[in-house]
Amino acid sequence: MQTSQLKESMDILKDHGYKYTKKREQILQFLIDKDGYVAAKDVYDYLEMDYRGISYDTVYRNLHDFVELDLVEEMELNGEKKFRYHCCHGKIGHHHHFICTVCGQTKEIRMCPMDYFEEQLAGCQIEGHRFEIFGKCEKCAAKG
């Protein structure tokens, strides 16, 4: 059974000319279920269980396509690209994240530090920004 998030994502893929594949569906469902940043290798290992010999390039290409369609967010952590299902798709509004450097869990930060910087940047044309806080979540911090 497809979740509403998965159905919405599959509809977006279809609207942009992508064919339905079980692999695409499984990648998206894996990211929805993880609810945090994961490496492409994690996605690859998950798919490899069902699709022996699947190409790492296939996984990475799909992740890249999902980023381009704004279904998935990407960021770099410790020199490695990580991916997560795009949270809320505009339902919450502009916000940022705390990201656990151990398990990849994320927590929403419902404010934007740009509000404090805009007056210092008078006359500048801001085209975008990223703000993330990195550290250990409660569970990982408790483990030592």
Domain annotation for the chain: domains and CATH numbers: 4-88 (1.10.10.10), 94-142 (3.30.1490.190)
Read off the pLDDT of residues 85-142 as tens digits, 9 standing for 90 and up. 886 554 556 678 888 888 878 888 888 888 788 788 888 888 877 788 889 999 999 9
CA distances from 32 to 65, 78, 113 (A): 16, 23, 27
Pair type for strands 96-100 and 80-85:
unpaired
Is the full-model pTM beyond 0.75?
Answer: no
Region of 17 on the Ramachandran plot (φ > 0 left; ψ -120 to 50 alpha; else beta): left
Q: Which residue has the tokens 């940022």?
A: 96
Phi–psi pair at 38, nearest 5 degrees: -135, 155
pLDDT exceeds cutoff 60 at 1: no
Residues in the chain: 144
